[in-house]
Amino acid sequence: MLFQINMDMKVSKLAENIIGSEIIKLAAEVNEKIKNGETIYNMTIGDFNPKVFPIPAELKQYIIEEYEADQTNYPAADGMLELRQAVSGLLKQRGGLDYKPDEILIAGGARPIIYSIFKALVDAGDTVIFAVPSWNNNHYTYLNSAKAVVIEASPDTYFMPTAANIAPHIQSANLVALCSPQNPTGTVFTKEGLTEICDLILAENKRRGAEAKPVYLMYDQIYWALMLNGVQHFDPVTLRPEMKNYTVFVDGISKSLAATGVRVGWSMGPKFIIDKMKAILTHVGAWAPKAEQLASARYLNQLDKYDAFLNVQREKINTRLQGFYKGFQMLKAAGHPVDAIAPQAAIYLTIQLALHGKKTASGEILSTTKDVTRYVLDEAKIAVVPFYAFGANADSTWYRLSVGTCKAEDVEKAIHSLKDALERLH
């Protein structure tokens, strides 16, 4: 007997009102074009093409060996000790951070880490401060029924928030969410900029006193191994050691080793917070697979191999980002209303397509950012993500261009295609 589905059936208010990903919506449109045989330069994906950016060969072999050794049962709830020890060594020797294995939590990538940080630190009605554009802070804030204080960052600071932006809201804050290198911009905090934010948090916690709930800092540094062109990465605890009491990190191998599907991420922070995050994830079950954990531990214990891989990885990424950056500067110099911020880190280039008000060959006016995005996709065959997909103003002319799936030979082709499309506007 078939049952009639009642389309008026109700779900939770949280599920009813959750917002889908704008990036996924755009990706569906791009994939449909590719499916129909169009050549599309797809720069929307914050991921790597494994044929262009494979994971380290040794890591791949270690994963296979661990599965052959039948390492397929549950891992330890806070992560395999071998991996937590290896991460502790990596952080100390390459990041200058001193975290013991029991101050480190392993999870299935960065997303469960962020989820557990919010769940451990943010109550319903608490205030979370974050800047836009940024990745998914709005969604995690919503999932915790928290209040969002959204700072619209500007190109003047390379889209990184400042202490001056945060200061008016700090007394009501329970969590400040920062990311550096930043997704979607590929830009980073300066030493002075991050130090000022740390000092602001420390001063606020001193004002609150020992009895009040502190303002904590979630610091996402998942891209920190992919610094380019001599740009330096800074973290709160190195700059201000007192911040160790209030900082919980987001980290892992997803981006540094092009291992997004391997699902090995970690957090480090005060042990009492890490223990609560562990308890939360115990009920979620968002663990990294045991074989991948043991393989990652073996790989990270060989930092010479890790360093050699990263040197090649950064060069491959930088070649692509610099190619696009120079291409945009060439188009700008030719009088086209486009721009780009020089790449600093990660796999992203911040580009500007200030085409609002332009008229196409068919007479259509590009009135909105969605119009511009569609025109560039349809006419230049280039797919990029507008910053409004990361929470910025709907009229923003800025975009994320990702090179994680880009072949080196496609850079010049994509710029030439964009040039032709721009020349058809008036």
Question: What is the reported pLDDT for 20?
Answer: 73
Q: How far apart are CA 137 and CA 238, in angstroms?
A: 24
Alpha-helix residue ranges (DSSP H) falling in 188-302: 191-208, 236-239, 271-284, 290-300
What is the average pLDDT across 197-211?
96
Confidence of residue 150 (pLDDT cuts 50, 70, 90): very high
Domain(s) of CATH 3.90.1150.10: residues in the chain: 15-53+308-421
Which strand (E) or helix (H) includes residue 328? helix 303-333
Whether the pLDDT of residue 233 is over 70: the answer is: yes
pLDDT in tens, 302-330: 999 999 999 999 999 999 999 999 999 99
Domain(s) of CATH 3.40.640.10: residues in the chain: 57-302
Question: What is the reported pLDDT for 5?
Answer: 56
Looking at the domain 15-53+308-421, which fold is it? Aspartate Aminotransferase, domain 1 (3.90.1150)
Q: What are the CA-CA distances from residue 361 to residues 371, 379, 413 (Å)? A: 14, 11, 22
φ, ψ of residue 293 to 5 degrees: the values are: -65, -50
pLDDT in tens, 388-414: 999 999 999 999 999 999 999 999 999
Whether the pLDDT of residue 96 is over 60: the answer is: yes
Q: CATH code for 57-302?
A: 3.40.640.10
Q: Which DSSP category does 115 fall into?
A: H
Question: What is the reported pLDDT for 2?
Answer: 54
